[in-house]
Structure formats: C-alpha cells, structure tokens
Structure 1
Amino acid sequence: MTDTMQHELSPLDRKITDAFPQHTVRKDLVGEIKGNAVVPTYVLEFLLSQFATTTDALSIESGVRRVQEILAQHYVHRDEAMLVQSKIREKGHYRVIDKVQVTLNEKLDRYEASFSNLNIRQVVVDPDIVQKNEKLLVTGIWCICRIGYAYTGEKDEVPWRLESLRSVQMATDDVHNFIEGRKKFSTEEWVDLLLQSIGFNPELFSDRAKLLLLVRMVPFVERNFNVVELGPKGTGKSHIYSEFSPHGMLISGGEISVAKLFVNNATGRVGLVGFWDTVAFDEFAGRNKKAGKELVDIMKNYMANKTFSRGVEQIPGEASLVFVGNTDHDVPTMLRTSDLFEALPSQYHDPAFLDRIHAYIPGWEFEQIRSEMFTDGYGFVVDYLAEVLHNLRDLDYSDRFNPYFELSSSLSTRDKDGIRKTFSGLMKLVYPSGEASAEQIELLLRLAIEGRKRVKDQLCRMDATMTPVDFAYTRIGSETPIAVKTFEEIDYPKLYWRRRTDDESDEDDGTIPEGALPEAEEPQAAAPNKNAANARPALSAVERMQALAKPGEVTLEENERGYSYNRLFGPYVAGARQIELTDPYIRVAHQMRNLAEFLEMVRNNSDPHQRVHVHLITKEDEEAYRARQQLEMLGQLEHNYTQMGIDLTYAFDETIHDRQLRTDTGWKVSLGRGLDIFQKGNESDWLSPQNRIQQMRRVKSCTFIYRRDDDALAEQEM
C-alpha cells in the first residue's frame, strides 16, 4: 500500500464522510490519478466518485487503480488520436473520454459531433442525445462516449457513429439531503467543509480569507450576479471557474465576440450566457486591451436588465458574469494615482459599466497559492456540490436579514441590489436552509455591504457627479447606524478619500496603516532633577504602567488594527500577584496562543523577582478528541510558564458565560469577547508579521469595561 493511501482522518473528515457517504472524496487523490491527462477536476472526481468514495485505505487504493486504468484505456491524448481511431475501427466500437461539441448540419438535416482530442468530426448524433444535453451545442462538454464504426463505401458517408453519451455531470437534485446534512455541522465546520471541497486546507486560511473564497462561489449559486476580482498574480483567482463546476465557463484572455457571448444574429444561435450558470473572463485586466463598443453596450444592458437583444426580441439570461484580472500596483499606489479599477481596459473603466457590478473581491488580500495550501482531507465531489448549487439558484434569501437589520435609506437601488444578491448567495452557501441567528446573519451582511461599497466608493472617485452614500445598517429597534468600512479605507484613510480632502496636508498620506506599528505603551519617566533636594525617586516600569490604569470603557471597531493585550490590559495587571481570568473559550489552538500571549504580557508587567499566580476558569470542550487536546495544551502552558515565574492553574466550570479579569490590585475588567479579540489568520505562517506583532492583527468588534473591584481592594487592605 502506498504512503499516499495512508491517511489519518481528522474529526471533520469523519463527520463529512458520515454525513455524506456517497458524495465525498479525498481531495489529494485527484493529483494521484491525473498524470498528464488535461482533464478538469470535476471529470476526475466524477470518476473517483464511482470507485473511491470510501475511507478504507485498501478500497481507496483499489479505486484509484481502477480510475487510472480507465484514464489509461479511454482518455484520448491528442498525440494518440490515430491509435484510438484504429481501435474503434478494429473493434467496431470503443469508449472514450473526450470533450464533445455538436453542430447542426442543415444540408443533411442531422446533428454532427466533433471530438476535441480524438480529432474526428461529422460524427452522427441521435437528436435525443442532443435534446438531453443542450450544452453540446454551445462550447461542448466532457463526456464518456461509446463511438461506433461502420463503413459501407457509400459516397459522402461518415463511418463514425455516436452510440451513447454520458455527460460527466450529475442529473439529480439532492438539495433536500444537502440541507439536512448541513444541520450536523457547526458554521465553522461547514465553511471548512466547503473549502476542502474546492481543494484548500482551511487551517491555512484566516476566517476573513475563508469568507472571501466563498464570495468567489456566489456566481454558481446566485443568478445574474456580477462580480469583479482584481489582485496580484498567482492568488488563484480563476481556478474555481475553470476546475470547479461543469456549469461554469472560463474564457481565457478576456476577449470574446457578441455572437459567441450573447447571440449570433446570422444563425439565431444563443451564446454562452444562455446556457451556463457562470461565465468568467480570465485576464480581464490590461490597459492596452480593446473591446468593441457593441460588446460593452450589450454587456451593460444584460448586467442591468438580465436580457440581451436579438433584433427586436429580448432574450432572458441567467448567467452570472465574473471578471478577474491582475493588478499592476499595490493598493496605496492605486489609491494615490488613480482608483482600484485602474488595471481595467479603458472601455470597461467606465462608471456606467462598473455601477452594474454587485461586488468587488479584494484580490490583494489573498496569499499566493502554495502547495501546502491544498488539502489532503475529504470534501464534496465537486460535481455533486456544483449540481446542488445549481439547484439552489431557484431560492432567494435576499430578504433574510430584514427581521433583524435595515439598510441605510441613502443607498441607491443598485447599491441595495448588489448587497442583497451577495448576501443571498452567501446565505445559500453557509446556511442553505435560510435559517440563521442575527449574529450569524450580521457577519454575512457586513461582507456583502463591503463588497458593494468597494465598487461605489471607487465610482465616486472616478465620477464627480456620483453621489456618495452611507454604507451603514441599523439593528431593528435601534436608531444608531452601524457604518461598514473597507479594509483599504481603514488602512489608508487619507488616500482612500483623497479627492474629498484636497484641503488637507499631504504630509501624512496614510501609506502606513494608522496604529499598525507598536505604540508607545507606557509613559516615559521624567529625567531626574539632580539639583532638587526633595526630588522623588524615579518610578519603576511597573509603577509607570499602573499609573495609566483608570476606570472607563474601550470599544474596538470591527477590522481595526493597532491593539495589543499590553495596551488593553497592561495597566490593570501591572504589579498583580493574583490574577483570575474567566473565559469559556480557551479550547482550540489559536485560543491557546491567545492565553500564552496574555501570560507573556503579565510577566512583562510584573516584578521579575516575584511569582504571579494566574487562575483560568474556562469550559471543557464538548468533543472528547478536542477535550484531550485542550488538556494537553493547558498542561504544556502550565509547564512552560512556570519557568518564567507564572504559576498557571485552571478549572472547568460549565455554568460560566461572562468573560472577566480580576486582579488582587483592585481591578475588574469586563471582557466582551474574552481574549479572542483578534481575527483568525494563518497561524502556521511565521514569516507573517501578523503572527508576531499583535498590533498588526485586525480585531473583532468588542467592548471592555474597567472598574475598581471593591472585594479585591478589601482583601488587599486586610
């Protein structure tokens, strides 16, 4: 048995294979069988789903061998086309795996197929096959075919016959079971399952990056969704549109004719948007690229009205349009010199065209794809997932936030449409039943608002007549609006709004994010006055930090940077000998890292000659496997920090809910989210400054309340 087949199942893998036993596959097996076959991932996973949907290593090895044999025997390599043609002739018929396209021969009144790799044409096709697989008439589809050969010598005869065809695409609607299976997973587990299904290792992506990857999937689950993603090379922008779904079409080069995309007026044949769920334009950026005015105009009309014209007739279409391309500059340079759409061809760098975009995915937030980012875990067979998402397009979840939130009245109709369509797509991906809590819905709504805001804010830079609006929402029952900001706005505020702040000085253009670098976290002691007879002795570092502690309240806004445990807690733990931390969520790896960094902060604000006792009250993980890991990590922290003068003890209490910090120096801090204030990132990338400098990490919205603890003070006085 090969090492590749040996695979230890993670708890998530077990859950996936138990919940969807017939529709899962190990994602690394695709690379094992692909070899030099230029076949889309969904074709290979379709074959794997027939022979290797199991967790048993021996069965997987047998299934992989079977798929390899099928590819070896039936996949047609271009340089072996004549050999396969000979096999068909000698045997009378033969099965092949190839991409097939069909045309109508009007002179002979018959359908004829052409095979991409086999390099044969005019293969007679039964009309029933064409009616069941209409996409054969557009750009063709991958199929497993049985081709016959019967030569009679008659004039103009074509000896080839397409005897049977099986599209590599599921035909069953399994939405009900998909929704029922979703109930067995937490939100975090389900998002990780979706990421593994498209081939990525979720452990190497932050929570933010995971959601942005899901936005890439929205065009497959939401009709007429128009999205753009611009960013650096090598971040996988086009991968999902070429490999993920048999319902998606990727157009390389970004250039296409009106006839091919919409309708050929000469033949009356409808183009790509009439047959595909998603049409993606790869390499769409490039200032020197050209596009005809007719194409741009009909594209504008289609994006706005979901129809295109054939003479006087209006033809409806449901295809989502995706535009992906590479940027030439980093974000501050684009904001300083132009706008975030600067890389687009001039014909598309047009407010009227761009206003029809529902969301802008910030491609610069993705890391370049590396081999370790791909998963060896289990996920949905992409063909199965693609078919479910195709059927979920019939649902509309755009109003599911209405019971909890209300959008700003200043938003235009197009702004609201963009937000609602992005939100609806994310809901169908993450909560396919349409049911979610207000907190869960709010996270997706904020991301949807941000995606449209990135479009509209750039339009306001490009067109002075465009009216700025408030991208905000209010919670039902509250009158306080909650503003949403893009990361570019947070990080580079003066560059982001430079055309509205021309009267401001350009000395500080915001190219270094405010608060991103370590702040001066304690006041500097005044130089000693040697001539003063009664001069007070200099304060120690601990005393200087204690002097900063004051009752009050601090609120962190979502996505801000510049905060650290030292800034938030340092003055309140300084000099303490006894510290009690209550936080029910010190369980998994990143939360343990938070605790380690908290203990380090305590040590840095303590007298180095005195030991400090930190007592943690938390909850035990509900799953036995993770509970064991939790105990192991707590034990490791206890061992490691005792050598640094920190005595860590811990206790489990299943009744706790509130998060708080108490010290024997008389302070009590109410912790809104406990220690888990930072957005989760790729913790394995220790070359990233975010993993070494807390101030570089983005935070979650939360509030801290600082007050004097009368009980602790009384104990201290005794």
Structure 2
Amino acid sequence: MNDEMDDTAGQGYRAPDAAGPAPRPGGMTPLDRRINEAFPGVVVRKDLVKAVKGNAIVPTYVLEYLLGQYAATDDEASIRSGIEQVRNVLRDHYVHRGENRLVQSRIREKGRHRVIDKVSVALNERDDVYEAEFSNLGISRVEISSEVVRKHPKLLTGGVWCICDIVYAHSGDPKEAPWRLHSLKPIQLSNLDLDGYQATRARFTTDEWIDLLVQSIGFNPELLGARAKLLHLVRLIPFVERNYNLIELGPKGTGKSHIYSEFSPHGMLISGGEVTAAKLFVNNSTGRIGLVGYWDTVAFDEFAGRKKRADRGLVDIMKNYMANKSFSRGVETLGAEASMVFIGNTTHTVPYMLKNSDLFDELPEQYHDPAFLDRIHAYIPGWEFEQIRGEMFATGYGFVVDYLAEVLKSMRDLDYSDRYREHFQLSADISTRDRDGIHKTFSGLMKLVHPTGRASCDEIEALLRAAIEGRKRVKDQLVRIDTTMTPVRFGYRGADGEWSSVPVLEENEYPELYRRGTPSADVADEGEAEASGRGRNGVGASAGNEEGARSGAAGDAAGSTADGAVPAPTDSAPAVSELEEQHLSFRDGQRGFSFDRFFGPYLRGATKVTVADPFIRQPHQARNLMELIETIAKVTDDATETGVHLVTKVDENPEHARKQLANLEMIRTSSAVAGIGFDYEFSDTIHDRSISADTGWLIVLGRGLDVFQPFDTDWLDLRLRQQRYRQVKEFTVTYMRRDQSR
C-alpha cells in the first residue's frame, strides 16, 4: 500500500503540521506491552487517531486502517514516522469537501489521481449500467462494473469508504461524464486469523482482556468501574450476534451513537425519523432488498421523542422481523440477519420516569407498544454512563477497530447461548421470549469476553447476571405498560440448588418507586428465596431491598422516600440502641450511597471515632476522609468535644508521601473548625478497614472509604457536594455491636 499511495501528490485536505503526539506519560504500561507482543500489527495507540484526524470528517475505522498500515508498533520513532506518513496520505488523497473542485482540477490536469472518499452506487436503469457517486469529491455518473458491485454489495446501500483511482477522459460527448473508475478498494481488513485471535486470548486475564476491548473502542478503562466496562461491551453485541435487538435510552453526551457510527464498516447509523419500509426492508417497485440485507447492524439514532410519528406499517414489519428474522412487503417472504439498535435521549430522571410512567416513556407512541417492546432482547441503562470528557478517551493500545470488527463479524456464526447450563439453571417461570433475550445477550458477551467459549463458573455467572438484568429491565417495564402481563421471577439456581435473584440497579436505588403499582414476582417468592439462604445476591443480600428498607440504618438504610429522594440523617433518626446488626452489599455503579445515610446513625453522639484504612493516600481518598468527618460533625453535639483518630499506611512513593502528610495536616486544621480533634498514625501492618465508635458500634468496610467511582471534580459538579449522586464501586458494609449493654 505504501508504494500505491506514494505515486500521486494531489492538493486535498492538509492536516496540521504538528510533529506528532507526545509519548504517553509514564511510558507503556505492562498491559500495553503484552498487547503489542500478543497482537503485532493489528493494534494501535488510541490517542494517535486524534493526532492525525485534524478537520477530516473520516470515520475512526478509516483512520485506524491507515494507522494499522504505518504505525502499528510500540517504537516511538516508528510511530512518529508512521503518523507523518498517514498525514501525507490524508493530505494527498483525502478529499475535503471545501477543496473538491481543486481536486477535480488536479485529476483533469494529471489525468489520474487516487482519492479516499465515501462511494455509493445506483443502477441507471435507462442505460443498464451501475454508476458511482463520490460524496466529498462531488462527482457522479461514474460507471462501475457489475463485477465490483457484486463483490461489494454495500456500495448500493448507503455507501462505503474506499481508496479509488479516478481517471479523467473527456470524450467530447456532453451526455457522457468524463470520469472513469480505474480501481476501487474498500477500506477493510483483507484477511483474518480467527483461530489465532481465540488462542491468544489465553495470554490475558479476564480483567486484562476486558480492558483491552474497552481501550479498543476508545475509552480509558482506568476511569471505568467493572459494571461500566461491561455495559460498554453490551453495545458491541449487535456486531457479534445475529438478529439482536437492543435499546439504549439515556442523557445526551454519553456516547450512545459513537459505536455505531465510528466503530465498524459493517454497521449503519441512520436517523430514526428518516427510514422507510422500502429503505429498511425491500423496495416493492424494484424488488431490491433494503439495509437489513446488507449490514450486520442497523442503528436508529434519535429514536426517542414522544411527539415523533412513525409509519404504523413500518412498525408492524419491524415487529415481525425482530421476532422471526423475516419480513414481507408483497407475495415473497424474505429473511435477513441484521441486528437492530434503538438509541435515544431521555429528558427526565430515572425516579421521575418510575414515579410517573415507565422507562420507555420517551419513545414515540407507535413504538410505545408492548408487542414491539417485548421483542427487545436487552435495555442498556444509558443514565449509568458518564458524560464524555476528554480524559475518558483511551491513550493505551487497542485493536485496530477494523480488525476487531472483522473478528466480531466472523464470530456471528458461533452460538454460546448454552454455555451456562453446566453450572446454572434459569428460573422456570421465565418465558420463551425472555429466555431468548437472555440467551442472545449471554452468547454475545461470551463471544466478546471469552471467545473460545470456555470460562470459569464465576466468570460465566457474572455474564449471566448481566444478560438477565438486560432482559428484566425490559420485562418489568412491560408489566407496567400492559397489565395483562404476569411478573416474572428473574434469577437462577446454581449446581448446588442455591437460588440467586437478579435485580436491576434502579430497583435497588429506588425500591418503592420501582415496584409502585406493580406486583413483584421476587417479593412474592420471598419464602423460597429465604429457604435457600437468599442466594449470592438475593432479595435480602443487597442494599436497596424491602427488608433492608425496614431494618436499615436510620430506619431507611436501603430505601428511599416516596418521591425517590434519599433521606439524610435527621434528629428523628432512631437512637443508636435501636439500630440493628446487619450486612449490606452495594453493586458496582449503584447510586444513593452516602456517609450521612449509612454511617451517620451509627456515629450519632460519638465522642471518639477511630478510622482504620490503609489507603488514605491519594487526594480523592483524603477527600473521602474529610467527608466522613463532615458527617461526624453533623451527628455530634457542637458542645461536646469529639476526637477522630486515623490509622493508615504511609505512601511508598516519597513524593506522594509528602503530599499525603500535607493533606492529613490540612484535615487536622479543617476539622478544628467544627470542634473535632483529628489526629493520625501510620502503621506498616494495618490491613483491615473499619470505623469504630464509642457508641458501641463497629462498622466493617470491605473497601474502606474509597467506595466512589472516579468523577469530574469541577466545583460546579453536584456530585462533589452530594455523595448520593455518585456511582459506587462494588463493596460491602457490616454493622457489629461491640457493647451490647449500651
């Protein structure tokens, strides 16, 4: 390709003249090194895309295709040289729309020129020839051979990015276009070793592999929790699973459409209001099949909007296709394998939707139909994704997206939907349609995370729970919408017969609102769950359930008020002696946790509090400690002297240790304002994490105070002042009474 690209020197788009991106701070990570060693030639440093893109409106997979040709290496000098070559290719061959006439002139003067452009093809029925149109170059009626069209049929549906040689040959006939297509090469991988890809997976742990996939789609895994990473991977399932129906609704700016517009040459993103039955399925006048016949994934952007109107006939065809993989607009019934993705913005918060309607509330009326919604296999909670910020983009190494896209396409033939059955059995009252949704989501996640189809029992369980939750979110809302539907008990049994219930996260966060006006299969079956020990994460095992709401801290340790607001400790909270011993677990990504709510009642009236946490080192960990002291100040008498003693470890890095000491001294000074005496000591042997108070209570912290996921620390961010709006990491809290006489 190098020789081919160097044979012309047009005057198209010119990229910035910067020398290239700076080396990554701190150099390559151990995972980056392992990635480069395991997948030479098909991985790229993800921050390079931004370095070469400039103002060129080119999909990521096109840029990474070029970077894969020139800069797929870990050598900084080679990377800089490769970036310069890619910039030269873009400068000389990418057609910027504002310079299309200049490029046309260059083609005429030189006679032949190579361009990178989006090419679409249509049949000229009058002359019985196929003609190509070049999106940026602005030329059309370029004759293209039937053989090329047969080889690349997607040229007929929406267009494909290609590298093309254009020849200028004016014949003198005003009816004949002077442009001739000498060669056309779609930008995509030419070969794939799937067996090598699957075998090399064994060189990575599951966590490392997930991080590699997350980096490959462009995000920094260090800023994402385990649950957030898995949700990002669910977005990829339509590319690896045939006829998969997925919906994601959430706030603006969370990257919902990025995957479907930038990630794969096998996906098509269209506006939800711009599609017709002829374009999507089949054109009755020509008999030509629509988008579902050519693309692996068809994503509908801007799908939400109550005031939008949709063609009822189109909705009916979609319902049949989503259920049966077939469609008919005449006498002939056709089939296709394209997955359907529906993405849209929400304008209301989750508690508002749960209180006033349902989680499908934003959809147009024609799609707010139980028969249509029941065909959706999984619902991604878009409100759990962070707003996209600059630091969230990956700087590490990941697969060239075109390579990964071809891997996923080749794995659509595989079926891993039964790989859980050796260890687990789904609830018997899960319907066939619910089971199909769970199976397809589970199969897709297995292909992504465990491409060989082999995984440990714990690894399989984690993916099975995610698959069940995705379908449960759909079904629970259907029960709200259609009162004739019966609630389903979503869960599974292990090989030992132990029952595990699977709640959705918003069910934990807003239990009263989630179950408002609808019967709960899980609550109705509480007796069976209790008889089997309530399972790993059963009804009584996690914060947010009804039993926790009755007996939790401050009388509402895991519940919420009727309007969905999380109550802070007040003077009417129960006395310390009325609190109960209990164990609470919090799921990754859950909101609603705060020190006020879960620690405050147990620290009320304390005069001495000891905090044992070996990890009060980084600035955000010092902030957590200061917020705990703020809680203590709220629940203690201003006229009583209160002491807080910290036991922690000194940071091993001397520079970090100096900052750690400075932060602790600042906490000492700040605490004095509230009449709290703060002191600290360092211990080399400390391991356990706890809060103990002279109220007689010991709070055992599974993760210490560092329970919150990273978030923007801008002072205007509400999460900085209100912990309950932050997402948490997975952790546990155990409350133990040390002095029963109090």
| TM class by smaller structure | 0.7 to 0.9
Alignment partners' CA distance in 1, 2:454 and 2:628? 40
The verdict on how the C-alpha distance between 1:311 and 1:602 changes in structure 2, with shifts beyond 3 A counting, is closer
The verdict on how the C-alpha distance between 1:158 and 1:309 changes in structure 2, with shifts beyond 3 A counting, is same
Partner of 1:500: 518
TM-superposed deviation, 1:372: 2.9
SS in 2 for 1:55: coil
Partner of 2:563: 511
The verdict on how the C-alpha distance between 1:34 and 1:614 changes in structure 2, with shifts beyond 3 A counting, is closer
Partner of 1:15: 34
TM-superposed deviation, 1:417: 1.2
Partner of 1:87: 106
Q: Among all aligned residue pairs of Structure 1 and Structure 2, give the percentage whose two residues are the same amino acid.
A: 51
Matched, 1:336 2:355: yes
TM-superposed deviation, 1:126: 2.9
Partner of 2:117: 98
Give CA-to-partner distance per residue, 1:231-264, whole Å, 9 cap, x none.
Answer: 2222221121111111110002433111110111
Partner of 1:554: 583
Q: Which segments of 5 or more consecutive residues in structure 2 lack a partner in the other structure?
A: 1-17, 521-559, 669-677
Alignment partners' CA distance in 1, 2:420 and 2:192? 27
TM-superposed deviation, 1:353: 0.6
Give CA-to-partner distance per residue, 1:474-495, whole Å, 9 cap, x none.
Answer: 22212434242331x2233333
Aligned pairs (5 A) from 1:159-198: 159-198=178-217
Alignment partners' CA distance in 1, 2:88 and 2:508? 55
SS in 1 for 2:683: strand
Give CA-to-partner distance per residue, 1:152-204, whole Å, 9 cap, x none.
Answer: 44685444322211111113223333333333333333333222222222333
Matched, 1:213 2:232: yes
C-alpha contact 1:398 1:420 (8 A) present in aligned 2: yes
Partner of 1:529: none
In structure 2, which of residues 670, 674, 681 is the aligned counterpart of residue 647 of structure 1? Answer: 681
In structure 2, which of residues 483, 490, 498 is the aligned counterpart of residue 471 of structure 1? Answer: 490
TM-superposed deviation, 1:409: 1.4
Partner of 1:6: 23
The verdict on how the C-alpha distance between 1:110 and 1:133 changes in structure 2, with shifts beyond 3 A counting, is same
SS in 2 for 1:263: coil
Partner of 1:713: none
SS in 1 for 2:21: helix
Give CA-to-partner distance per residue, 1:33-92, whole Å, 9 cap, x none.
Answer: 222222111111111211122333333232222222222221123343333233223323
C-alpha contact 1:27 1:379 (8 A) present in aligned 2: yes
Matched, 1:700 2:730: yes
Partner of 1:320: 339
Whichever residue aligns with residue 567 of structure 1, its letter is: F
Partner of 2:321: 302
C-alpha contact 1:638 1:647 (8 A) present in aligned 2: no
Alignment partners' CA distance in 1, 2:489 and 2:257? 32
Matched, 1:567 2:599: yes
Partner of 1:538: none
Partner of 1:380: 399
The verdict on how the C-alpha distance between 1:687 and 1:482 changes in structure 2, with shifts beyond 3 A counting, is farther
SS in 1 for 2:474: helix
TM-superposed deviation, 1:614: 4.0
Whichever residue aligns with residue 261 of structure 1, its letter is: L
Partner of 2:462: 443
Alignment partners' CA distance in 2, 1:138 and 1:121? 16
Of the structure 1 ranges 198-207 and 103-112, higher mean CA displacement relative to structure 2 is found in 103-112
Of the structure 1 ranges 474-483 and 272-281, higher mean CA displacement relative to structure 2 is found in 474-483
Alignment partners' CA distance in 1, 2:578 and 2:630? 16
C-alpha contact 1:611 1:647 (8 A) present in aligned 2: no
C-alpha contact 1:278 1:319 (8 A) present in aligned 2: yes
Whichever residue aligns with residue 490 of structure 1, its letter is: N
TM-superposed deviation, 1:447: 2.2
SS in 2 for 1:498: coil
Matched, 1:59 2:111: no
Give CA-to-partner distance per residue, 1:612-663, whole Å, 9 cap, x none.
Answer: 684779xxxxxxxxx966x97678657865974322212499xxxxx68799
TM-superposed deviation, 1:688: 5.3
Q: Which segments of 5 or more consecutive residues in structure 1 lack a partner in the other structure?
A: 503-507, 525-544, 618-626, 654-658, 710-718
C-alpha contact 1:549 1:571 (8 A) present in aligned 2: no
The verdict on how the C-alpha distance between 1:171 and 1:231 changes in structure 2, with shifts beyond 3 A counting, is same
Of the structure 1 ranges 429-438 and 297-306, higher mean CA displacement relative to structure 2 is found in 429-438
Partner of 1:530: none
Aligned pairs (5 A) from 1:510-589: 510-514=562-566, 517-518=568-569, 553-556=582-585, 558=587, 559=590, 561-562=592-593, 564=595, 567=599
Matched, 1:249 2:268: yes
Alignment partners' CA distance in 2, 1:686 and 1:438? 44
Alignment partners' CA distance in 1, 2:624 and 2:388? 30
Give CA-to-partner distance per residue, 1:342-375, whole Å, 9 cap, x none.
Answer: 2211111111111111111122222322333223
The verdict on how the C-alpha distance between 1:140 and 1:485 changes in structure 2, with shifts beyond 3 A counting, is closer
Of the structure 1 ranges 53-62 and 660-669, higher mean CA displacement relative to structure 2 is found in 660-669
TM-superposed deviation, 1:669: 7.8
SS in 2 for 1:473: strand
C-alpha contact 1:207 1:679 (8 A) present in aligned 2: no
Matched, 1:37 2:67: no
C-alpha contact 2:120 2:156 (8 A) present in aligned 1: yes
The verdict on how the C-alpha distance between 1:523 and 1:64 changes in structure 2, with shifts beyond 3 A counting, is same
Give CA-to-partner distance per residue, 1:260-314, whole Å, 9 cap, x none.
Answer: 1011122121111111111011111122222222211110000000112253332
SS in 2 for 1:441: helix
Alignment partners' CA distance in 2, 1:117 and 1:389? 29
RMSD: 4.0
Alignment partners' CA distance in 2, 1:562 and 1:287? 33
Alignment partners' CA distance in 2, 1:680 and 1:45? 30
Alignment partners' CA distance in 2, 1:229 and 1:429? 19
Alignment partners' CA distance in 2, 1:54 and 1:372? 23
Alignment partners' CA distance in 1, 2:271 and 2:682? 58
Alignment partners' CA distance in 2, 1:596 and 1:266? 70
Whichever residue aligns with residue 515 of structure 2, its letter is: W
The verdict on how the C-alpha distance between 1:228 and 1:549 changes in structure 2, with shifts beyond 3 A counting, is closer
Give CA-to-partner distance per residue, 1:671-702, whole Å, 9 cap, x none.
Answer: 69453884644375676566666666646364
Alignment partners' CA distance in 2, 1:194 and 1:418? 23
SS in 1 for 2:92: helix
Alignment partners' CA distance in 1, 2:270 and 2:644? 65
Alignment partners' CA distance in 1, 2:35 and 2:465? 29
Of the structure 1 ranges 364-373 and 382-391, higher mean CA displacement relative to structure 2 is found in 364-373
C-alpha contact 2:607 2:643 (8 A) present in aligned 1: no
Matched, 1:232 2:240: no
The verdict on how the C-alpha distance between 1:512 and 1:310 changes in structure 2, with shifts beyond 3 A counting, is closer
Partner of 1:354: 373
TM-score of the two chains, using structure 2 as the length reference: 0.78
Alignment partners' CA distance in 2, 1:634 and 1:433? 45
The verdict on how the C-alpha distance between 1:596 and 1:392 changes in structure 2, with shifts beyond 3 A counting, is farther
The verdict on how the C-alpha distance between 1:577 and 1:647 changes in structure 2, with shifts beyond 3 A counting, is farther
Alignment partners' CA distance in 1, 2:456 and 2:28? 28
C-alpha contact 1:249 1:280 (8 A) present in aligned 2: yes
Partner of 1:541: none
C-alpha contact 2:602 2:697 (8 A) present in aligned 1: no
SS in 2 for 1:499: coil
The verdict on how the C-alpha distance between 1:640 and 1:285 changes in structure 2, with shifts beyond 3 A counting, is closer
Q: Indicate the structure whose relative CO is greater, using CA pairs within 8 Å and at least 6 residues apart.
A: 1
